[in-house]
Amino acid sequence: MKTRRTTLAAQWPTALAGPGFKSPAGPESDHPPSYNELVPSGELTHLDAQGRARMVDVGDKPSTARWATARAVVSFSASTLDRIRAGDLKKGDVRAVAELAGIQAAKRTADLIPLCHPLALSHVEVRLDLQDDPPGAVLTSTVRTTGPTGVEMEALTAAAVAALTVYDMIKSVERGARISEVRLLEKHGGRSGDVVLAE
Protein backbone atom coordinates (compact mmCIF):
# COMPACT_ATOMS: atom_id res chain seq x y z
CA MET A 1 0.00 0.00 0.00
CA LYS A 2 1.47 3.34 -1.04
CA THR A 3 1.52 6.24 1.35
CA ARG A 4 0.53 9.55 -0.16
CA ARG A 5 2.63 12.49 0.98
CA THR A 6 0.75 15.70 1.63
CA THR A 7 2.24 19.12 0.98
CA LEU A 8 0.97 22.60 1.72
CA ALA A 9 -1.64 23.39 -0.90
CA ALA A 10 -1.23 27.15 -0.92
CA GLN A 11 1.82 28.83 -2.41
CA TRP A 12 2.67 31.09 0.52
CA PRO A 13 5.13 33.86 -0.29
CA THR A 14 8.25 34.02 1.85
CA ALA A 15 7.05 37.34 3.27
CA LEU A 16 4.11 35.64 4.96
CA ALA A 17 6.34 33.17 6.77
CA GLY A 18 8.06 35.86 8.79
CA PRO A 19 11.67 36.89 9.36
CA GLY A 20 14.25 34.15 9.14
CA PHE A 21 12.13 31.83 7.01
CA LYS A 22 14.18 29.78 4.55
CA SER A 23 12.41 27.96 1.75
CA PRO A 24 13.68 24.39 1.16
CA ALA A 25 13.95 25.27 -2.52
CA GLY A 26 16.28 28.20 -1.91
CA PRO A 27 16.06 31.79 -0.67
CA GLU A 28 14.45 33.09 -3.86
CA SER A 29 11.82 30.37 -4.16
CA ASP A 30 8.13 30.60 -3.30
CA HIS A 31 7.96 26.81 -3.01
CA PRO A 32 6.09 25.98 0.25
CA PRO A 33 7.68 23.51 2.68
CA SER A 34 6.08 20.07 2.73
CA TYR A 35 4.80 18.57 5.97
CA ASN A 36 7.25 15.67 5.78
CA GLU A 37 10.48 17.60 5.15
CA LEU A 38 13.08 17.54 7.88
CA VAL A 39 13.74 20.79 9.69
CA PRO A 40 17.03 21.39 11.53
CA SER A 41 16.51 20.74 15.25
CA GLY A 42 17.72 24.22 16.10
CA GLU A 43 14.68 25.67 14.32
CA LEU A 44 12.14 23.55 16.24
CA THR A 45 11.43 25.76 19.23
CA HIS A 46 9.08 23.25 20.86
CA LEU A 47 11.79 20.56 21.14
CA ASP A 48 14.74 20.51 23.53
CA ALA A 49 18.24 19.24 22.69
CA GLN A 50 17.11 15.64 23.37
CA GLY A 51 14.07 15.94 21.10
CA ARG A 52 11.54 16.12 23.94
CA ALA A 53 8.52 18.41 23.70
CA ARG A 54 8.74 21.57 25.75
CA MET A 55 6.85 24.82 26.20
CA VAL A 56 8.73 27.75 24.70
CA ASP A 57 9.93 30.33 27.25
CA VAL A 58 8.34 33.63 26.23
CA GLY A 59 9.33 35.46 29.41
CA ASP A 60 11.78 37.74 27.64
CA LYS A 61 9.44 38.66 24.80
CA PRO A 62 7.75 42.07 25.00
CA SER A 63 4.01 42.30 25.55
CA THR A 64 2.36 43.69 22.45
CA ALA A 65 -1.19 43.93 21.12
CA ARG A 66 -2.09 40.80 19.18
CA TRP A 67 -5.24 39.50 17.55
CA ALA A 68 -6.35 36.71 15.24
CA THR A 69 -9.44 35.65 13.31
CA ALA A 70 -10.40 32.08 12.39
CA ARG A 71 -13.31 30.33 10.73
CA ALA A 72 -15.13 27.01 10.57
CA VAL A 73 -18.05 25.87 8.42
CA VAL A 74 -20.86 23.43 9.22
CA SER A 75 -22.78 22.11 6.20
CA PHE A 76 -26.26 20.63 6.51
CA SER A 77 -29.54 20.32 4.59
CA ALA A 78 -31.97 23.10 3.72
CA SER A 79 -34.58 21.53 5.99
CA THR A 80 -32.19 21.70 8.96
CA LEU A 81 -31.45 25.32 8.10
CA ASP A 82 -35.18 26.07 8.21
CA ARG A 83 -35.50 24.43 11.62
CA ILE A 84 -32.57 26.43 13.01
CA ARG A 85 -34.12 29.67 11.80
CA ALA A 86 -37.51 28.71 13.22
CA GLY A 87 -35.99 27.76 16.58
CA ASP A 88 -37.51 24.31 16.14
CA LEU A 89 -34.77 22.22 17.77
CA LYS A 90 -34.98 20.32 21.04
CA LYS A 91 -31.74 21.75 22.44
CA GLY A 92 -32.75 25.35 21.88
CA ASP A 93 -31.09 28.38 20.27
CA VAL A 94 -28.23 27.13 18.09
CA ARG A 95 -26.69 30.57 17.56
CA ALA A 96 -26.60 31.57 21.22
CA VAL A 97 -25.24 28.25 22.48
CA ALA A 98 -22.59 27.90 19.76
CA GLU A 99 -21.31 31.46 20.20
CA LEU A 100 -21.03 31.05 23.96
CA ALA A 101 -19.30 27.68 23.56
CA GLY A 102 -16.72 29.28 21.27
CA ILE A 103 -16.02 32.05 23.76
CA GLN A 104 -15.60 29.54 26.57
CA ALA A 105 -13.33 27.36 24.42
CA ALA A 106 -11.01 30.26 23.60
CA LYS A 107 -10.45 30.82 27.32
CA ARG A 108 -9.63 27.12 27.84
CA THR A 109 -7.26 26.64 24.89
CA ALA A 110 -4.19 26.04 27.06
CA ASP A 111 -6.07 23.20 28.79
CA LEU A 112 -6.71 21.51 25.43
CA ILE A 113 -3.52 22.15 23.42
CA PRO A 114 -0.53 20.96 25.51
CA LEU A 115 2.13 23.48 24.46
CA CYS A 116 -0.07 26.59 24.33
CA HIS A 117 0.57 29.29 26.92
CA PRO A 118 -2.26 30.38 29.21
CA LEU A 119 -3.11 33.89 28.09
CA ALA A 120 -5.13 36.73 29.56
CA LEU A 121 -7.55 37.37 26.74
CA SER A 122 -8.91 40.89 26.50
CA HIS A 123 -11.65 40.13 23.96
CA VAL A 124 -13.31 37.12 22.35
CA GLU A 125 -16.03 37.39 19.73
CA VAL A 126 -17.68 34.43 18.03
CA ARG A 127 -20.30 34.97 15.34
CA LEU A 128 -22.56 32.40 13.70
CA ASP A 129 -23.88 33.35 10.26
CA LEU A 130 -26.40 31.16 8.46
CA GLN A 131 -26.11 30.80 4.69
CA ASP A 132 -28.54 29.51 2.09
CA ASP A 133 -26.33 28.38 -0.78
CA PRO A 134 -24.99 25.97 0.15
CA PRO A 135 -27.03 25.62 3.34
CA GLY A 136 -24.92 25.78 6.46
CA ALA A 137 -23.43 27.89 9.22
CA VAL A 138 -20.20 29.87 9.16
CA LEU A 139 -18.50 30.35 12.55
CA THR A 140 -16.07 33.26 12.75
CA SER A 141 -13.99 34.01 15.83
CA THR A 142 -11.81 36.97 16.73
CA VAL A 143 -9.54 36.91 19.78
CA ARG A 144 -7.42 39.71 21.22
CA THR A 145 -4.76 39.97 23.90
CA THR A 146 -1.79 42.05 24.94
CA GLY A 147 1.02 39.63 25.69
CA PRO A 148 4.24 37.91 24.61
CA THR A 149 2.68 35.38 22.23
CA GLY A 150 -0.11 35.25 19.68
CA VAL A 151 -3.71 34.07 19.85
CA GLU A 152 -4.00 32.05 16.64
CA MET A 153 -4.71 28.84 18.55
CA GLU A 154 -7.32 30.53 20.70
CA ALA A 155 -9.13 31.80 17.60
CA LEU A 156 -8.96 28.38 15.93
CA THR A 157 -10.16 26.61 19.07
CA ALA A 158 -13.09 29.01 19.41
CA ALA A 159 -14.20 28.46 15.81
CA ALA A 160 -13.76 24.69 15.98
CA VAL A 161 -15.65 24.23 19.25
CA ALA A 162 -18.43 26.54 18.07
CA ALA A 163 -18.77 24.32 14.98
CA LEU A 164 -18.80 21.18 17.12
CA THR A 165 -21.53 22.76 19.22
CA VAL A 166 -23.64 23.41 16.14
CA TYR A 167 -23.29 19.74 15.26
CA ASP A 168 -24.32 18.74 18.77
CA MET A 169 -27.37 20.99 18.59
CA ILE A 170 -28.59 19.59 15.24
CA LYS A 171 -27.49 15.96 15.35
CA SER A 172 -30.93 14.78 16.46
CA VAL A 173 -32.30 15.89 13.08
CA GLU A 174 -29.21 15.48 10.87
CA ARG A 175 -26.28 13.28 11.82
CA GLY A 176 -24.75 13.73 8.37
CA ALA A 177 -23.84 17.38 8.91
CA ARG A 178 -20.19 18.10 8.03
CA ILE A 179 -17.61 20.33 9.68
CA SER A 180 -14.95 21.74 7.35
CA GLU A 181 -12.67 24.67 6.59
CA VAL A 182 -11.37 25.14 10.13
CA ARG A 183 -8.66 27.66 9.34
CA LEU A 184 -6.86 30.81 10.34
CA LEU A 185 -7.92 33.87 8.34
CA GLU A 186 -5.51 36.45 9.73
CA LYS A 187 -3.21 37.29 12.61
CA HIS A 188 -1.70 40.59 13.68
CA GLY A 189 1.10 41.68 15.99
CA GLY A 190 4.23 40.00 17.25
CA ARG A 191 7.62 39.48 15.64
CA SER A 192 6.19 37.92 12.47
CA GLY A 193 3.92 40.92 11.96
CA ASP A 194 0.64 40.83 10.06
CA VAL A 195 -0.46 37.78 8.09
CA VAL A 196 -3.66 37.81 6.06
CA LEU A 197 -4.39 34.53 4.28
CA ALA A 198 -6.31 34.29 1.01
CA GLU A 199 -9.95 33.25 1.13
Q: What DSSP assignment string belongs to 80-104?
A: HHHHHHHT--TT--HHHHHHHHHHH
Asked if residue 3 is part of any domain, the answer here is no
Asked if residue 199 is part of any domain, the answer here is no
Residue 106: what pLDDT? 98
The least confident of 112-121, 138-147, 173-182 is 112-121
Asked if residue 31 is part of any domain, the answer here is no
| Tally of domains within the chain | 1
Parent domain of 85? 64-190
Which DSSP category does 37 fall into?
A: S
Question: Which CATH number do you get for residue 183?
Answer: 3.30.70.640
Asked if residue 59 is part of any domain, the answer here is no
Residue 33: what pLDDT? 43
User: Residues with catalytic annotation?
Assistant: 168
142 or 48, greater pLDDT: 142
Asked if residue 40 is part of any domain, the answer here is no
